[in-house]
Structure 1
Amino acid sequence: MKNYFKIGPGAFVAAAFIGPGTITVCSLAGVRFGYELLWALVFSILATVILQGMSARFGIVSRKDLVEAFPVILPNKALLYLATLFVILAIVIGNSAYEAGNIGGASLGFSLIVDSIYVDFFGFSINYIALLIGLLSYLVLSTSNYKKIEKILVILVALMSLSFLTTALITKPDLNQLFGGFVPSLSTENLLSVMAIVGTTIVPYNLFLHAAVVQEKWKNASAMKECQQDTMLAIGLGGLVSMSVLITAAAIPQSEMKNIVDLAETLVPLYGSLAKYLLAFGFFAAGITSTITAAMAAAYVLKSSFKALGHTHKKAYAITWKIVILIGVIFASFSLKPIHLIEVAQVCNAILLPFIAIFLLWIVNSTKIMGIYKNSKLQNIAGIIVVFLCFLLSASLIYKLI
């Protein structure tokens, strides 16, 4: 029982998708539709468990990252270089753009408990909290010790979960209405919110990150059962956080809400200052864990890309995560918004997701690669449903952005 409830590499996945973006999306869904979209969270968590489970299984059995498997199905050099370049654009460049949002989100959480997060420096207004978050993330990753990083993320994810769950309980939700939210209900009004919930939960870079970090934790396929338990527990815990945020937001009167600050300030007169401080810590933790994992994912992808193309660069991993954090700190410190970079990254990720899902489904069905650990018929049925979902999600995101 003790081993069953022990979280490992799955914490990286939970820490990555429970970021400022997910919390904002779930908050808005709760404010606009009450408990109505809880079913969408359940659905997206199940889809994430399916894809991440395949990614982790591939990583343990093959001892490769996903990008390193590209040459298996792309023997043509031109196609291999093109596919690898696209992944680098979507994940490495994309995560650099998103990093400003992660650091800015953590700063926003901190702004709930301090008078100001800005200081004047030679005529510039600088977000000093962003600098501290960048430094903290740098110190965590510079340990280069997987076990230490895992422990830090497990602690942060656990505290974040406790924070949001407690906030949801404080609001004393109506149980009849709450359970009614698990009954699927789709309409033209809530469609975009449903797609946003699924899109912030199924994160393309998590598939690359998960395949890499499981290799650090487990050295052979004998740990497969433990890996599966870890994946379900960690992603389930992440889903509980998302639900708690939505439930909390559903408790406030219908109003315009732009971010977590608006939600927290609205909760204070209704449920007291405790709710505000719990949300502040939860949002801060969500931002910093996403800052760490986004930088790690970008670093793993670039390192794997060099390997896939037949090159070695020993310092690629360390250089990449440092640059990603630095870019995020610069943009967040000066309140700059890399809008165009983010838009490009969103389009690339929207295109990348269904193809990576298909690629993943293909390689986990290969007897040559996976042996006895290849997909079962039931896993394939579930995988095909998720791939179809990924296509719908990508098409809607691209349509929305264009």
Structure 2
Amino acid sequence: MPVPRHGSFWRKLAAFAGPGWLVAVGYMDPGNWATDLAGGSQYGYSLLWVIAFSNIMAMLLQGLAAKLGIVTGRDLAQACHDHYSRPVRLTLWLLAELAIIACDLAEVIGTGIALELLFGIPLTIGVWLTALNVIVATILEQRGFRRLEALVGGLMVVVAASLTVELLLSGPDLAGIGGGLVPTGAILSDPGMLYIATGIIGATVMPHNLYLHSAVVQTRRFATSHRGKREAVRFAILDGVMALSLAMLVNGAILILAASVFHAQGRQVSDITEAYKLLSPMLGVGFASALFGIALLASGQNSTLTGALAGQVIMEGFTNLRIPIWARRLVSRGLAIIPAAIVASLYGSAGTGKLLILSQVLLSLQLPFAIVPLIRITGDPKWMGEFANGRIVQVTAWVIAVLIIGLCLKLLWG
């Protein structure tokens, strides 16, 4: 897509806008819904700071991913292929594929639940119907990347508008929101809170999005001079920050909604289906549950589109293997559908709700294997030249990595 060499700031920003929004979709997928609902209903506003902190971390890491793609012309998967030995890159590839499956699992379950709630389609059948998304994603991509970005943006507006109405109806406690933005050490002493907090981080800073962002920024045809790359990096980061800010507000809205409606009345909501059924009677508004379901369905469809793109980037980047896009997506979707369908048939919505949260915790555990290579490569002057991370950025990125690794280890070993 061409980028104007001359023109106003806003024209250039409009040309660069898109990749950040594709990435932001992964920050408000059904996995986020599950963790945010659980966190808000069980702990009130206490974990709101985790959402804010996770999104700030994501802005920095996604900015590094965008810079890598623009400066080197290689996405993160390709850079790992070039940078590491065969055993290491094989391990990183397999872990990235596991992250894609975990992400796909959340999208499959979320879409299946939304279809059941809105249209009465049995959960197991709804899960199998998500295989059709593979066809939709392939057709849309063939018709042009800009159209895909426009569809994703439109669905994001539906999600944001629906949740805004829900939030206004719930009448949240502003003082409670302010207190929830203050970090607390309680997550280190409360295993349940730590589990939910780790799930929130995994649902927010998603490893496959780092691979995706480094690839889709290359869809812009910018000047390859030093000045052109620097301008492209600046606009790509701004695009990402704007998009992730909306994602942060959406995630915060879900947690605040759960805290103000469920936690305030002593209800610990364990899954999305329960939240859907309780919203209308507890808010006293008949359409509240329907709005919730529409936003969930839009979220699931959006995440399906971008998850499919990320899977393709990861496979081709790590292995140089070229297979039909529909085949790659069908395999990934099948690996997610089978366990989701089994759990849905055996345990219903309660079981799939727990599986949804587990998938986000698994994403957190995969995250270090994406961010450590990203920080190392973008901080290496041999790769990045003058664009290598400065001292402050590099130290901050490593602090984020250490914090995430520490939380994962604390979760694993108590």
Tell me if both proteins adopt one fold, taking TM over 0.5 as the criterion.
yes
2:389 is matched with 375
- Pair 1:198 & 2:211 matched: no
- Report the AA paired with residue 294 of structure 2: F
2:256 is matched with 247
1:303 is matched with 316
When residues 177 and 70 of structure 1 are mapped into structure 2, their CA distance, relative to the original with a 3 A threshold, is closer
**Counterparts of 1:98 and 1:232, CA distance in 2:** 22
After superposition, the C-alpha distances for 1:229-258 in whole angstroms (9 at most, x for unaligned) are 111011111111110000100112222322
**Counterparts of 1:45 and 1:350, CA distance in 2:** 14
1:121 is matched with none
- Pair 1:58 & 2:68 matched: yes
2:303 is matched with 290
When residues 167 and 276 of structure 1 are mapped into structure 2, their CA distance, relative to the original with a 3 A threshold, is same
**Counterparts of 2:326 and 2:68, CA distance in 1:** 24
Unaligned runs of 5+ in 1: 75-79, 119-125, 308-312
Aligned residues: CA RMSD? 2.9
1:91 is matched with 96
**Counterparts of 1:100 and 1:362, CA distance in 2:** 30
SS state at 1:251 partner: helix
2:156 is matched with 157
**Counterparts of 1:57 and 1:158, CA distance in 2:** 27
**Counterparts of 1:206 and 1:361, CA distance in 2:** 15
SS state at 2:75 partner: coil
Please report how far the alpha carbon of residue 290 of structure 1 lies from its aligned counterpart in structure 2 after TM superposition: 2.0
Does the 8 Å contact 1:108/1:261 carry over to 2?
yes
Does the 8 Å contact 2:106/2:356 carry over to 1?
no
1:77 is matched with none
2:269 is matched with 257
- Pair 1:225 & 2:229 matched: no
Does the 8 Å contact 2:198/2:408 carry over to 1?
no
Does the 8 Å contact 2:101/2:332 carry over to 1?
yes
Does the 8 Å contact 1:100/1:328 carry over to 2?
yes
2:378 is matched with 364
Please report how far the alpha carbon of residue 285 of structure 1 lies from its aligned counterpart in structure 2 after TM superposition: 1.6
Alignment of 1:317-356 (within 5 A): 317-329=325-337, 332=340, 335=344, 352-356=366-370
2:290 is matched with 277
SS state at 2:389 partner: coil
- Pair 1:390 & 2:404 matched: yes
TM-score (norm 1): 0.85
Please report how far the alpha carbon of residue 98 of structure 1 lies from its aligned counterpart in structure 2 after TM superposition: 4.2
Unaligned runs of 5+ in 2: 1-8
- Report the AA paired with residue 242 of structure 1: N
Please report how far the alpha carbon of residue 293 of structure 1 lies from its aligned counterpart in structure 2 after TM superposition: 2.1
Match of 1:207 among 190, 196, 210: 210
- Report the AA paired with residue 22 of structure 1: N
After superposition, the C-alpha distances for 1:314-345 in whole angstroms (9 at most, x for unaligned) are 33544312322344455555636999x99998
**Counterparts of 1:200 and 1:248, CA distance in 2:** 18
SS state at 2:118 partner: coil
**Counterparts of 2:359 and 2:38, CA distance in 1:** 23
1:117 is matched with 121
Does the 8 Å contact 1:350/1:394 carry over to 2?
yes
- Pair 1:167 & 2:161 matched: no
**Counterparts of 2:68 and 2:79, CA distance in 1:** 10
Please report how far the alpha carbon of residue 361 of structure 1 lies from its aligned counterpart in structure 2 after TM superposition: 1.4
Does the 8 Å contact 2:138/2:325 carry over to 1?
no
**Counterparts of 2:336 and 2:43, CA distance in 1:** 33
Please report how far the alpha carbon of residue 100 of structure 1 lies from its aligned counterpart in structure 2 after TM superposition: 3.7
- Report the AA paired with residue 117 of structure 1: I
- Report the AA paired with residue 39 of structure 2: A
SS state at 1:215 partner: helix
When residues 399 and 98 of structure 1 are mapped into structure 2, their CA distance, relative to the original with a 3 A threshold, is farther
- Report the AA paired with residue 402 of structure 2: F
- Pair 1:135 & 2:139 matched: no
**Counterparts of 1:180 and 1:83, CA distance in 2:** 44
Identity %: 25
When residues 328 and 197 of structure 1 are mapped into structure 2, their CA distance, relative to the original with a 3 A threshold, is closer
Match of 1:105 among 103, 110, 113: 110
**Counterparts of 2:195 and 2:341, CA distance in 1:** 31
